[in-house]
Amino acid sequence: MSELQINTAIFPRVMSMSTKGSNDERPISIDLPRGANLLYLQGLKDKEEIKLLTKYANGEQLSDDDFKAMFKLFITNTPRLKPSAINNSNADPLNLFGVEIISNKGKIKFKLIDQYIPYIRVDTWEFITLDLLRNTYLNIINKYDFNGISIYLGSWKTETDEINQSLLNSLRSAFIFTIIGFLYGDNRHLYNSFTDYFNHEFSKRVSFINGSWKTKKPGEKIEYLPIFDSFYNLKGLNPKTLIEVIHAILDNEEIIIDDKEMIRNTLIDGAEQFHKNINTQGQLLEQSLIKPVVNYLIELETAADDLKAAKSLFEQRLYNPATNRCYYSMMHSSKALLEKKHMLKDWEPNVLNVRENHKQLEGKLKKLTENHILMRQFLSDFQYVKQKRWIADYEISKIDKVECNDCVLRAESFLSEVKRITM
């Protein structure tokens, strides 16, 4: 392979080692782990890797096929090399990085340990990819306020502050999941090129992370929640954790409406696609996590939207339709409460809908009052607004301002109580 010039600083350096051969041979030194990455590239024999390295070194434009080939070199099951025992006096630091010293007739040199080569390969190509996409991903991340934290998406820890490091870990996960989506996801065909795909898909994930960062409690770490990726990646997650994070974002006034709507639609679209292609394994995940989270959050959001509509209609003196929206706000609040208490039926086949009529929902609310989960006053409020809605919708009668205002206040109080009980 002809000589190629690349910026060696794209690979990390945590320590240096030097050694001296016999016969007063001039010492040689190596930076680690950087030296291992460079040794790997110097020994390249695979034609595909040589082609990719040549294009990268020469600053040539990569095709989508080139990107795919490069990503597959490090998106594998091979773990990253993590020399966690560098300070262990019994361990050779050089070997921990996958490097050894060999000597031939007194001439010494550094060489990669054969069994470490797969680990070094994935590290090397990941660092090249990070450098290749650095300007693109920084342009996206810098659109959001992350308190001026220096951004590094490599696998090595760079922050002493654990909270700041949790942000970097989340951004790294978002980066990796975005690439995995390009290789194996279902929506990559929606974009004209990898560049187009990455700009849109990574932006969505960073937006969600920024929402998590803004809404976290003081002293709290964040983690990447892959709601823009396969729902199977959520397996093992506690529904309460997922609900808390997403609800905090959807309820935060600082988060722009477009981002909230994107998250809301992602939850619905993802759950719908999952539900329509469900298998035995998927059923368990849906019942334990997806439905409890999606149903609860969307019902709560719908209840809030209906209440907002009721208030707007009230201000316009449209008291009958305002009363209608008050009832539906309370109905959706009730469904959110019942979902949280595991009292709603499963979704119907191929449809994100629960086959519960108004009478059944009211009957289940009564059970909650009997079990002292919901105070009887709120059941009475529900029944009162339900009656007023019936008059407003089906009788030749007018709901007056006082009656309508009463319904608005009861619906607002009902929603607040459901949030208090369930949050």
Pairwise CA distance, residues 2 & 153, whole Å: 30
3-state helix, strand, coil in the chain (%, to 5): 60, 5, 35
User: How would DSSP label each residue in 18-78?
Assistant: EE--STTPPPEEEEEEHHHHHHHHHT---HHHHHHHHHHHTTPPPPHHHHHHHHTTTSSSP
Instruction: Give dist(CA 70, CA 56) in Å, integer.
Output: 10
The listed CATH number (3.20.20.60, 4.10.520.10, 1.20.120.330, 2.30.30.280) that belongs to domain 230-422 = 1.20.120.330
Q: Both tokens of residue 141?
A: 């991340």
- In angstroms, rounded to a whole number, what is the distance separating the alpha carbons of residues 297 and 244? 10
Q: What is the pTM of this model?
A: 0.86
Which portions of the chain are predicted below pLDDT 70? 1-2, 20-25, 82-91, 106
- Helix axis angle for 358-370 and 376-394, nearest 10°, is 160
What the block records as the tokens of 376 is 């009887």
Give the model confidence (pLDDT) of 88-135 as tens digits: 546 677 888 999 988 877 678 899 999 999 999 999 999 999 999 999
- Predicted confidence (pLDDT) per residue in 190-235, tens digit: 999 999 999 999 999 999 999 999 999 999 999 999 999 988 888 8
Q: Name the residue ranges covered by the structural domains of the chain.
A: 8-127, 230-422
Query: Nearest to residue 70, comparing CAs of 131, 144, 4?
Result: 131
Q: What pLDDT does residue 85 have?
A: 46
Return contacts of 46-51, CB within 8 angstroms, 24+ apart: 49/73, 49/125, 50/1
Q: Is 106 helix (H, G, I), strand (E, B) or coil?
A: coil
